[in-house]
Amino acid sequence: MARTGTDPQPHTPFLSRPGVRRLTPFVLITAIALVFIFENRAHVEIRLLVPKVTMPLWGALLIAWGLGMLACAFTVRRRQDRYAGRHADRHAKRPHA
């Protein structure tokens, strides 16, 4: 059906969109974390179970940040899969009239 000039499309403000609202905290925390990581450039000694490693602190912080991001990604993906499976089961068990 053709759109007429009298039927305006409702406009959703950019910051009210769900995708933007989910992405904004991630972007802010990532920016702050990266600034913190790259401001700490001193060399430190880190014990990895048995060996001692000397490396820049920013490298160790970057590795820890990356591992945290991976853990978050796996957790969110598992939660979405579990949530989708639970709702699919609920809808399948309903008797149809």
pLDDT, mean of residues 57-68: 88
**Averaged confidence pLDDT in the chain:** 77
Per-residue pLDDT, 61: 86
**Cα 72 from chain centroid?**
7
